[in-house]
Structure 1
Amino acid sequence: MLTGFKNFIMKGNVVDLAVAVVIGAAFGAVVDALVKSVMMPLISLLVGQPNFDDFLAFGDVRFGVLLTAVVNFLLVAAAIYFVVVVPMNHMIERRNRRLGIQPDVKEEAAEDPQIALLTEIRDALRSQSSK
């Protein structure tokens, strides 16, 4: 029983997930600081206030709180995309070029049996709708 547990814990997926959760939690503080200390002050220079909580308030119904949450979400998503995803993609492309790896998306998609099945279903539906 302990051997099975050890095998489960040592699987690549579990370890990778654990590392991702820890790194994600630590990185969340960085993104939060970027949004609160850099991006929101810049927006407040444009709009005049750092949040929209009192914007469109009708008694207890405050649509501004939702607007502030949406703006914060978009800022966090933009920060992650431009600070993490874009540089990582460039690093991966440079590494692949250095190693001579040329990804061919069309070949990978054609080899996938699920894609082939979905393509057949799509074609069958098209032929039925054209009748």
Structure 2
Amino acid sequence: MLKGFRDFILRGNVVDLAVAVIIGAAFAAITNSLVTDIINPFIAAVVGKPDFSAIVWHVHLFHKAGAAGAPDANAGVIQVGKFLNNVISFLLNAAVVYFVIVLPVSKLLARLNKAEPAPPSTKTCPQCLSEIPLAAKRCKFCTEPVAV
């Protein structure tokens, strides 16, 4: 029973997935810091706001009361700016993962797993120089007998 579980865990896919999840979680913190500490100051220099989180859309159709009976401050507020910040963070994550991990690994695997050239499936007729199948006994173009 435990042998099957051990074989399942030690198969390449499960271990690779576990490593990817752990590295992805750690990498998300780095990318979020990149967005908040490096990119957002540039946005603030151009736009005048430190990030997009201040962009909200107020929908005045809802007037829910809070716990104390006062109107809830967040009722009918759609946080568009926070969504934009998350989209920027996701796009940066995806770009870095692709250009730093996926692209180099795929090029390395392509270099390591170069396919051998396929064996020839045709031969040349000595009389008319046409391409004919290897198993042909006669050329289909000039009908000359050919050595097999």
Structure number with bigger Rg? 2
Could you tell me how far apart the structure 2 residues matched to 1:3 and 1:93 are? 32
CA contact (8 A) 2:8 2:14 kept: yes
What is the match of residue 76 of structure 2?
Answer: 61
What residue number does 2:52 align with? 51
Relative distance call for 1:18 and 1:31 in structure 2 (3 A) is same
Query: What letter is aligned with 2:22?
Result: V
Pair 25,44 (structure 1): closer, same or farther in 2 beyond 3 Å = same
Contact preservation (8 Å) 1:44, 1:51: no
Query: Residue 19 of structure 1 aligns with which residue?
Result: 19
Report sequence identity in percent: 33
What is the RMSD of the two structures over their aligned residues, measured on CA atoms? 2.7
Structure (1/2) with the larger helix percentage: 1
Q: Distance in 1 between matches of 2:55 and 2:26?
A: 31
Runs of 4+, deviation exceeding 4 Å: 87-90, 96-102
Rounded Cα–Cα distance in structure 2 between residues aligned with 1:22 and 1:36: 22
Deviates more, 1:83-92 or 1:42-51: 83-92
In the alignment, structure 1 segments of 5+ residues that lack a partner are 103-131
Contact 1:32/1:76 (<8 A) preserved: yes
| CA deviation string 1:30-64 (max 9, x = no partner) | 1010011111222222222223435333562222x
Q: Displacement of 1:101 after TM fit?
A: 4.3
Match of 1:85 in 2: 98
Which letter does structure 1 place at the counterpart of 2:56? F
* Structure 1 contact 54–62 (Cα < 8 Å) conserved: no
Partner residue, 2:84: 71
Give the counterpart letter for 1:37 in structure 2: D
2:28 aligned partner: 28
CA contact (8 A) 2:52 2:82 kept: no
**Gapped regions of structure 2 (runs ≥ 5):** 60-72, 116-148
2:122 maps to which residue? none
Is the partner of 2:92 in helix, strand or coil?
A: helix
The 2-side partners of 1:11 and 1:2 are apart by: 14
